[in-house]
Chain A
Amino acid sequence: MRISKHALRRSLLTLAISGAIASTYSAALLAADSTNNSASQEIETLWQTVEKLNQQIAQAEEWKSPNTLIHMAGYADVNYISTDDGSNFATGAFAPIFHYQYQDKVMLETELAFSVDEMGETEVEMEYFTIDYFLNDNAALVMGRFLSPLGQFRQNYHPSWINKLPSAPQGFGHGGAAPIADVGVQVRGGFKMGSSINANYAVYTGNGVGAEMADDELEEAHSPGFNADVDGAKNYGGRFGMYMPTSKLDVGFSWATGKAGEITDEVQTGVKRDWDFIGADFTWHLGGLDVRGEYVKQSYGERSDGTSEGVDFDATYVQVAYRFPATKWEVVARTSTYNKPEDTLKRSSAGVNYIFTSSVLTKLAYESNDNDAGDAQDRILLQMAYGF
């Protein structure tokens, strides 16, 4: 078979063009594959990054509302005290409050109070320890050792960052006419009375209070929160409060009754007396003006055999404070009286406070003290308090 030159040239040309097209196409295919692989890898890397970020965001969100929360609050203060006899620096209380809370159902609350005595020894007291069960929007069941729900100063105003003066009013400290604590059970909460009153309440029963005896005479009211009930009778009572937001007026009334066991030389003797408590308190705000007051009275009955008379302990305070507009300065004055069977203690205080932040303040006060014997000393007090 003979092939012409022209046909041969045409065949070779066709073959060359086909080869060129085929090689170009395969090169293009290879390049496309390579690009696709690179894009896929980039997308995969991006997905991995997004997944990691999602995990980190989820972990970061965890702390916002876990089922169980652990929390610490509290307050502390440091002081400088000057009297005619001299002056000294003093640490006050360091009182951390611990909360361990399961959802909005149960909360464990405890407050410890660390202090240092004159000899430098550290003392620790358990101010309260309760397990609170939130029954519904209007009630919580509180079990354990709680701050006495009677009155206001002892249960709400005594922390140093809330108390507007460096010391407590007469009769509202430890061993005063206002009960400090009790061990038992209480139900407390709040509810609305119409549209203009927020009501709050607490009812309780507990081991009760004691009567500190000296030479067969009742010397001090005693309510540290006994962990035993030697007199064998539970006390019960409560407080009912009403807050009127429109007028910024808060009023409360307290009542309790039961028995008080006598204590001699720090031992409960088992001898008991009737015991009754009444109290009333108020707080009123008008702009920068803050007025507070409280009256408390504990009545101890006579011994059943008549060998010791019944006695009353009562205390009253009235406090006026004013914060100057658009400043951090506040002035405060307070007068208080504590009537005991054998003595009457009076205290008048005036002070000026500088409020660094809402819960950090410095208080400078002059305190005039008086008693029946006339040997009570006046004091100048400087305190820095921190609520945390």
Chain B
Amino acid sequence: MKIFNLKTYALIAAAGLLTLSSSLTAGEWPPTGNASKGAKAWADNCGRCHNIRDGKELRDDQWISTMFHMRMRAGLTGQDTRDILSFLQASNNVPVKKIVRNTSKVSTEATAGLTGKDIYTQTCIACHGGDGKGALPGTPNFTDKHGRLSKTDDELMNSLINGIQSPGSPMAMPAKGGNSELATGDLKNVLEYLRKTF
């Protein structure tokens, strides 16, 4: 009796080989992704099918299964999945709010080893766009004379450090743009870049 045809055998054999080629050992999981790259992958991918969801909508553990489900639905790579997961988990933290009253007295220590432009193009560009006009609906337009950049340095540093919810934006900008490794000096560099560029 013929159970499968040749093509079916070939497909099953290919699936079997792929199974054997995978690592069967399990270590710490899920490995931590790169939250900075995750911000870009999140902005690039999630809006392909549905409205972008705020990291605060779910807890860290809920985001794990949600992201693995989305890996299956959207054809994401494992690395993109981990990066987006790390970004969302960083975004739903509620940091201790820090009030900046005088930006000139804020620590200038920069730990990322990157220029303000580098940080902008790695982390901020996902939502704010290369031209500063906003890549997602509701993201403020930095080139607007009366827009977000008309605020004082102290106000903008508070937003960069603590995050901010813009009206009409699908989610609040997370503290430090979702990249918790950035120090206040790094954020000052970003602010200087914004002032110079837009």
A-side residues, CB < 8 A to B, are 63-67, 69, 71, 73, 97, 99, 101, 103-105, 107, 109, 132-142, 155-157, 161-162, 185, 187-192, 198-205, 232-234, 236, 241, 243, 245, 250, 283, 285, 287-288, 323, 325-328, 355, 357-359, 361, 387
Contacts and interface: CB of A to CB of B under 8 A. Distances in A.
A309 to B, nearest CB: 26
Contact of B14 (A187, A192, A387): A187
Contacts of A327: 168
Contacts of B167: 326
A133 B19 contact: yes
Interface stretch (B54-62, B100-108, B112-120, B180-188): B54-62
A358 B52 contact: yes
Contacts of B137: 287-288, 323, 325-326
B75 A71 contact: no
A234 B6 CA distance: 10
Contacts of B166: 326
Nearest to B59: A63
Chain A: interface secondary structure?
A: strand
A241 B93 CA distance: 34
Which 10 A-B pairs give the minimum distances between C-beta atoms?
Answer: A200-B75, A137-B78, A326-B168, A71-B65, A190-B75, A245-B44, A135-B22, A358-B51, A99-B65, A162-B50
Given A65-B29, A135-B22, A189-B77, A140 B64 contact: no
Given A187-B14, A325-B168, A135 B21 contact: yes
Nearest to B167: A326
Given A103-B26, A141-B15, A188-B72, 5 more contacts: A64-B60, A103-B30, A134-B68, A139-B18, A198-B75
Interface of B: 2, 4-5, 7-8, 11-12, 14-15, 18-19, 21-23, 26, 29-30, 44-45, 47-54, 57, 59-62, 64-66, 68-69, 71-80, 134, 137-138, 166-171
Contacts of B168: 325-328
Contact of A101 (B12, B65, B76): B65
A378 to B, nearest CB: 28
A200 B78 CA distance: 12
A101 B92 CA distance: 22
A57 B66 CA distance: 25
Contact of A97 (B19, B53, B69): B69
A77 to B, nearest CB: 14
Contact of B8 (A99, A192, A201, A234): A234
A104 B68 contact: yes
Contact of A69 (B49, B64, B78): B64
A328 to B, nearest CB: 7
Contacts of B65: 69, 71, 73, 99, 101, 107
In this complex, which of B19, B75, B137 has the most chain A Cβ atoms within 10 angstroms of its Cβ? B75
B77 A132 contact: no
A239 to B, nearest CB: 9
B57 A162 contact: no
A162 B8 contact: no
Contacts of B47: 285
Residue with the highest number of chain B CB atoms closer than 10 Å, among A64, A190, A287, A327 = A190
Nearest to B130: A246
A138 B29 contact: no
A205 B7 contact: yes
A17 B195 CA distance: 84
Nearest to A146: B72
A53 B101 CA distance: 35
Contact of B30 (A104, A136, A203, A234): A104
Contacts of A190: 74-77, 80
Contacts of B51: 355, 358-359, 361
Nearest to B46: A358
Contacts of A187: 14-15, 18
Contacts of B61: 63-66, 69
